[in-house]
Structure 1
């Protein structure tokens, strides 16, 4: 009986020592500051670090499944980071070209986990790294400023690994489970863009009556971002309704206004109450600049010009 017991222990102990074991750690994927008004994609990466032990010279197949994360996903193309009820779309990929979405056997979209194989050395150990490629898509101008986050842990990162000589199949839940944790984060900063449309009063003869024309200022600001638009006094630094277009030493007086009736001058901080304020919504907001050349002594013929500086403060 004693021999039988000894023989069974001899068979069992080596088999326990051959069981594979893998440890995973993942760096956080930080996109940093994201400019949602630029229209450009923002890229970043994270790294999976792997350490495995087990039967010498054997191949371990690793399936690093990634689900939607705590922010969820709106489609197969877009995972989401959250800031309260606000959403920022992004995606994770297994290739540097960011064309192959990194998925999981457990989420409802077609993309699956990439397969990664490690071969244990003569001491029964191996290590490696895998890069996760992330991208925040452009064209998200209506996203509000703030810090956005999605967490991967537990069922959102159901890694699997197992001995396999040939297989690269990561479409199932086969293997030993592991659940590393990491976060995806980004900061959307308050931002504004401005563009202008020039004012052309056209060709005039004698300046005996009002001559009106319009131009414009286009403002695009992140949602909720308050702004002020001011117009300086031109090259002669004149008051809002007495700016000067010049040709040499000769001038033509004109004014710029906030309203079609030309009753509200548009100036800068040197003329209190003359600036235009607003709040962004992520879309282009058109502000009309109303110009008027009042009746005045007509100077010699020629082209008269002025340059007005538009300042957007937010």
Structure 2
């Protein structure tokens, strides 16, 4: 059985400044791009239990003039399920529960958008960035097959929103 979460490159980059806004060069402003790798689970048997995989979100900004640059990364519910119980599906609508977490520990918070108890995550990197700033953050996926999980390719699409 193969389960693959395709974290598609659907990204929103918002310029609304939160309290900890990324500081930009005057008259130039900041411009950021975001990429994310897929979280791909290996083939597995439902009897194997929980499966883990990881992916990376990368943020690349220009026009930065900041001592300690950071942005907030939020993930939406995905196409199926909810923040508390995301679902991957096959073309035949078979379901596989999974979620994305802020860390690899069993008790790590669900990575979300601050609704339903899910955490958003601040992505930081480096000190004193003038001009160009690039940073990344690992995200951790867990899939939860059951004995009713059928063989097939499972996928979901999750939107990443970056706020600076």
* Band of TM-score, shorter chain: 0.7 to 0.9
Q: Report the alpha carbon displacement of residue 120 of structure 1 after superposing the two structures with TM.
A: 6.2
Q: Distance in 2 between matches of 1:60 and 1:121?
A: 8
* 1:85 is the counterpart of 2:93: yes
Q: Report the alpha carbon displacement of residue 56 of structure 1 after superposing the two structures with TM.
A: 2.5
Match of 2:156 in 1: 150
Tell me the C-alpha RMSD between the 2 structures. Answer: 2.1
Do 1:55 and 1:120's aligned partners in 2 also have CA atoms closer than 8 Å? no
* 1:62 is the counterpart of 2:62: no
1:1-314 alignment, distance < 5 Å = 15-17=26-28, 19-38=29-48, 40-73=49-82, 76=84, 78-83=85-90, 84-99=92-107, 100-105=109-114, 108-118=115-125, 121=128, 123-138=130-145, 140-152=146-158, 156-161=159-164
Q: Report the alpha carbon displacement of residue 64 of structure 1 after superposing the two structures with TM.
A: 1.1
Q: Which structure: greater helix fraction? A: 1
Higher Rg of the two aligned structures: 1
Unmatched segments (≥5 aa) in structure 1: 1-13, 162-314
Tell me: higher relative CO, structure 1 or 2? Use CA pairs within 8 A at least 6 residues apart. 2
Q: TM-score, normalised by structure 2?
A: 0.74
Give the count of matched residue pairs. Answer: 138
SS across alignment from 1:45: strand
Q: Distance in 2 between matches of 1:72 and 1:157?
A: 16
Go from structure 1 to structure 2 and tell me whether the alpha carbon gap of 1:45 and 1:55 turns closer, same or farther (over 3 Å shift).
closer
1:118-172 deviations in Å (ceiling 9; x for gaps): 456454222111001011125x1102221111012xxx322212xxxxxxxxxxx
Q: Distance in 2 between matches of 1:87 and 1:122?
A: 44
Q: TM-score, normalised by structure 1?
A: 0.40
Q: Distance in 2 between matches of 1:42 and 1:68?
A: 20
Unmatched segments (≥5 aa) in structure 2: 1-24
